[in-house]
Each structure stands twice: as structure tokens, then as C-alpha cells.
């Protein structure tokens, strides 16, 4: 993926996150998109948690994980950009 298409996708995410359109901001559209993204990230949380548990057992530390941290804008943006899926695949092969 080129940097230009990544920039476009990041701009698209920001526009959808805030519900921006040609007519202005639409809070209903923003809420729908945020719920859509959080639902998709929620489905990835078990994958993230299992990878982190394996990594912690190898490193010898037990840290309590807060699931709510996965539903932030940052994680939703990572999912939209494909970075979250890539991190999971890399961590599983680790």
C-alpha cells in the first residue's frame, strides 16, 4: 500500500469518525460508524488477549488487561487501516 492511499484512508477514517459530509457534521452517522468500528474491534479482542497472554507467559509477567482500552479511537483507527490485524498476525508468529 502506498503512502498516498494510506493518507486517503486515514482521512476517510477521520471524516467518518466525526460524521463529516458535504452538508456538515452528522452526529448520528458518527455514532453509527463508531459503533460499527467498536463491534469489529470487540471481535478482535479475544485474539489480542490470547497473543498478549502468550507473550506475557514467555516474558514472565502477569499484567491485568483492561478490555475498554481496546475500544478507543486509536484501536478503531488501527483496525480501519489494517494495522491491528497485522499486529495480531505478527504476534502469533512470534
Whole domain around residue 23: which residue ranges?
Answer: 3-93
To the nearest 5 percent, what fractions of the chain are helix, strand and coil?
80, 5, 20
Say how far apart CA 16 and CA 76 lie, in whole Å: 12
Q: CB–CB of 50/16 below 8 Å?
A: no
Mean pLDDT calculated for residue range 71-87: 87
Q: Which pLDDT score is estimated for 64?
A: 47
Which of 47, 53, 86 is closest to 70 using CA atoms?
47
Taking the mean position of all CA atoms in its chain, how far away is CA 35? 12
Domain count, the chain: 1
Task: Report pLDDT digits (tens) over 11-59.
Answer: 999 999 999 999 999 999 999 999 999 888 888 776 666 655 655 555 5
Amino acid at each position: 500500500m502506498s503512502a498516498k492511499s494510506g493518507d486517503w484512508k486515514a482521512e476517510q477514517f477521520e471524516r467518518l469518525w466525526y460524521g463529516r459530509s458535504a452538508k456538515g457534521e452528522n452526529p448520528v452517522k458518527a455514532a453509527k460508524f463508531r459503533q460499527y468500528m467498536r463491534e469489529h474491534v470487540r471481535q478482535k479482542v479475544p485474539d489480542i488477549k490470547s497473543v498478549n497472554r502468550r507473550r506475557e507467559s514467555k516474558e514472565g509477567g502477569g499484567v491485568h488487561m483492561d478490555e475498554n482500552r481496546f475500544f478507543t479511537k486509536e484501536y478503531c483507527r488501527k483496525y480501519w487501516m489494517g494495522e491491528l490485524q497485522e499486529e495480531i498476525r505478527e504476534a502469533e508468529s512470534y
